[in-house]
Amino acid sequence: MIHPNDDNGDVLRRMEAHGDDLSRSRDIDFNVVFPNEALATAFAQQVREEEHRATVRLAKVVETHPWEVLVVRHMIPTHSGITQFEHELQKWAEPLGGYTDGWGCISQTRPQ
């Protein structure tokens, strides 16, 4: 499959190169970071109202934004779907001082 030349395309190409079957749906974890717990909690509540799973934790991955919300969405990992959801999360996070900080998922190999 051909993917655009950007960060999401790079990840999808690596996944395919390692035998991932990108036609199989799975839970995808999206990371959104915030400067404090109250803002992260407010964002998580908004995400839950949109019927997505969200977990707040002190991750300290980004020094200025140590609070992380892990948003889980079950979907097929397509470039357009991932990119569109990241933009949606960013739109919700910006007013609260947060921003998206990547995504990941467990590999789904092709059935033998």
pTM over 0.85: yes
All domains of the chain in start order, with CATH: 26-105 (3.30.70.3450)
Residue closest to 32 by CA, chosen among 78, 73, 93: 93
Q: What whole-number distance in Å separates Cα of residue 73 and Cα of residue 39?
A: 21
pLDDT score of 10:
93
Q: What is the DSSP letter of 111?
A: P
Which helix (H) or strand (E) element contains residue 64?
Answer: none
pLDDT at 110 over 80: no
pLDDT at 77 over 90: yes
Encoded amino acid at 78, one letter: T
Per-residue model confidence as pLDDT tens digits over 6-44: 999 999 999 999 999 999 999 999 999 999 999 999 999
Spatial CB neighbours of 14, under 8 Å, sequence gap ≥ 6: none
Using an 8 Å Cβ cutoff, are 109 and 17 in contact? no
